[in-house]
């Protein structure tokens, strides 16, 4: 009887240890998926504002650095944008993501922008927009 109870407690301990190990691996992966989805949502809203020619709305998603880039004509906030496609994404560091976005323009063809998002407090913002090429 004593041996059966000892084996049962040993099995419970092993199962608890395995469960904790699995949770430690799954939790960061889940958090990263949530963060990436959050950045994609911000990028989508920003791009939709640009497509809809809503400058005021698009400006809400820019950091001061991105506004300076726009003021220096390093990128166009509004144009004849028709649609966009995310070609590539990467996590640069804990609070920064970089997206390579292909933008389709009416009658002009297409071009590529590299858009960097940064986390400020609990929200993501567009930190820089660079035209590739």
Domains of the chain, with CATH numbers? 2-131 (3.10.450.50)
CA distance readout (Å), 10 to 24, 33, 87, 124: 21, 35, 50, 46
Q: What pLDDT is recorded for position 9? A: 76
Q: What pLDDT is recorded for position 107? A: 80
Distance CA 80, CA 97 (A): 26
Distance CA 126, CA 28 (A): 24
Beta bridge mates, 109:
105
- Work out the burial of residue 40: count CB atoms within 10 Å of its CB; fewer than 13 is exposed, 13-18 middle, 19 or more buried: middle
* Count of other CB atoms within 10 angstroms of residue 114: 16
For residue range 6-47, list pLDDT tens digits in order. Answer: 787 787 887 777 777 766 666 677 788 889 999 999 999 999
> How much is the average pLDDT of 48-71?
95
């Amino acid at each position: 009887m004593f041996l059966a109870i000892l084996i049962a407690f040993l099995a419970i301990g092993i199962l608890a240890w395995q469960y904790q190990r699995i949770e430690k691996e799954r939790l960061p992966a889940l958090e990263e998926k949530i963060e990436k989805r959050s950045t994609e949502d911000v990028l989508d809203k920003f791009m939709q504002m640009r497509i809809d020619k809503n400058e005021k709305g698009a400006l809400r998603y820019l950091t001061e650095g991105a506004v300076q880039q726009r003021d220096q004509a390093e990128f166009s906030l509004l144009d004849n944008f028709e649609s966009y496609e995310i070609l590539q994404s990467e996590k640069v560091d804990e609070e920064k993501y970089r997206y390579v976005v292909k933008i389709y323009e009416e009658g002009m063809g297409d071009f590529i922008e590299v858009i960097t998002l940064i986390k400020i407090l609990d929200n993501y913002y567009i930190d820089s927009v660079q035209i590739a090429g």
